[in-house]
Amino acid sequence: MDLLEELCRAPGISGCEGEVAEIMRKELKKTCDEVTLDGFGNVIGRFGKGAKKIMLVAHMDEVGFMVKHISKEGYVSFIKIGGIDDRILLGQRLIVKAKKGDVPGIVGSKPPHLQQGDEKKKVVKHEDMFIDIGAASKKDAEKLVEVGDQIIFEPNYGSYSKDLKYGKAVDNRIGCYALIKVMEKLPKNLNATIYAVGSAQEEVGLKGARVAAYKLNPDYSLALDTTLAGDTPGIKETESSLKLAKGPAVTIMEASGRGVITHPKVREVMMKVGKAKRIPLQIDVLEGGMTDAAVVYMTREGIPSGVVSIPTRYIHGPTAVFSMADVNNAVKLTVETVRKL
């Protein structure tokens, strides 16, 4: 199993990132002078000793679920962790990461054959769904799972071609993978201190990056994350013109300004690097969605920040699709931007 597949298959909803953190720690130890785990669950690698401090951050957590209640019949009710569309849930295969081992489950609800009138026209809400884990009673179910267990989409990973890949938790394990590769490629004589941060709990409020940025107080920061590709039916180019295999995206603004507004200097450096190194780039202006950069750039007295985004289809679902060419170019763009900063 290669590193990217290992990252995508690993479990790690917000607040339960331990297995992903261990992969990050192990890989960053190969290149960094020091790797630590802070009190919040962030993995922080330090590289170099220069006066200028640059923080690179990729969040480790994925969207998922948590056991909320077990019925007398043995069915599991759940809450969502992170933004997940209820419309994709029915029939999905999930894994409950229980203390005694993995427990498979299937999301169910009242079948359409038995629905009446307007019921058939409504989207079933997740609170009206349940997870069938094959238990005959609450007593049977409690032998397998308990309230508070994390639940993930069934792990998967594969290829359409040499370039196009798909898998679970692509948001943001491809950012984590890119961060590891950036640290491998940074020149040893760089006159700066680089911090590689695998952040926790991004999907539920950008929390880990806020903690790490306050502690490190860097001069600059770049977030490595995914963004929405618009090259599928039903999406207008005015909504998203980003395409797979056309290069990483330089984010200008997130969430109509509620998220990061990329610092002009950082943006200029990224655009010049792309042109000079012939790295294909796309421009990302988002009405919705934020990355860790949204909180980093407001930390302390303000930290000039930017985002290197990898276009991805179907994020926040059981399987997302991405281009390895975009991932590799995101690595190249980040390395060269760090050199210039």
Tell me the torsion sign for CA atoms 199, 208, 329, 326: positive
Residues 50 and 78 in one domain: no
Residue 258 lies in a domain: yes
C-alpha distances out from residue 147 to 66, 89, 263, Å: 8, 20, 44
In a domain, 139, yes or no: yes
* pTM of the predicted model as reported, rounded to 2 decimal places: 0.95
Query: Do 129 and 189 fall into the same domain?
Result: no
What local confidence, expressed as pLDDT, does residue 5 receive? 97
Domain that holds residue 103: 64-153
286, part of any domain? yes
What is the reported pLDDT for 124?
A: 82
Is 163 inside a domain boundary? no
Give yes or no: residues 182 and 325 share one domain.
yes
Whether 56 and 78 map to the same domain: the answer is no
Q: Which two tokens stand for residue 258?
A: 């509620």
Is the domain of 176 the same as that of 281? yes
Together in a domain, 199 and 246: yes
- Does 230 lie in the same domain as 204? yes
What's the distance, CA 60 to chain centroid? Answer: 6
Strands 93-98 and 34-37 come out as unpaired
Q: Both 31 and 77 in a single domain?
A: no
Examine the fold and report which residue of 153, 177, 208 is the final residue of a domain before the chain moves on. 153
Place of tokens 């001069």: 219
Query: Can you give the pLDDT at residue 83?
Result: 94
Do 334 and 300 lie in one domain? The reply is: yes
pLDDT at 81: 97
Please indicate, yes or no, if residue 159 is contained in any of the structural domains: no
- Calculate the CA 29 to chain-centre distance: 21
User: What CATH number does the domain containing 225 carry?
Assistant: 3.40.630.10
| Number of domains, the chain | 2
The reply to whether 19 belongs to the active site is no
pLDDT attached to residue 114: 54
Average pLDDT for runs of 10 along the chain of length 341:
95 97 98 96 96 97 98 96 94 96 91 61 86 96 96 98 97 97 94 97 96 97 96 88 96 92 95 96 90 96 96 96 98 96 91
Neighbours of 96 (CB within 10 A): 24
Residue 160: inside a domain, yes or no?
no
| Whether residues 69 and 21 fall in one domain | no
Same domain? For 240 and 288 the reply is: yes
Instruction: Tell me how far the alpha carbon of residue 87 is from its chain's centroid.
Output: 21
Q: Looking at residue 338, what is its pLDDT?
A: 96
Q: Final residue of a domain: which of 153, 184, 206?
A: 153
Q: Within a domain: residue 274? A: yes
Shared-domain flag, residues 69 and 53? no
- Measured CA to CA, the distance from residue 28 to residue 26 in angstroms comes to 6
In a domain, 260, yes or no: yes
* Single residue among 122, 153, 184 that ends a domain in this structure: 153
Q: For the range 21-25, what are the long-range contacts, defined as Cβ-Cβ under 8 Å and sequence gap of 24 or more?
A: 21/60, 21/198, 21/200, 23/176, 24/60, 24/176, 24/180, 24/198
Q: Which of 202, 203, 254, 336 is catalytic?
A: 202
CATH number of the domain bearing residue 101 = 2.40.30.40
pLDDT for 111 equals: 64
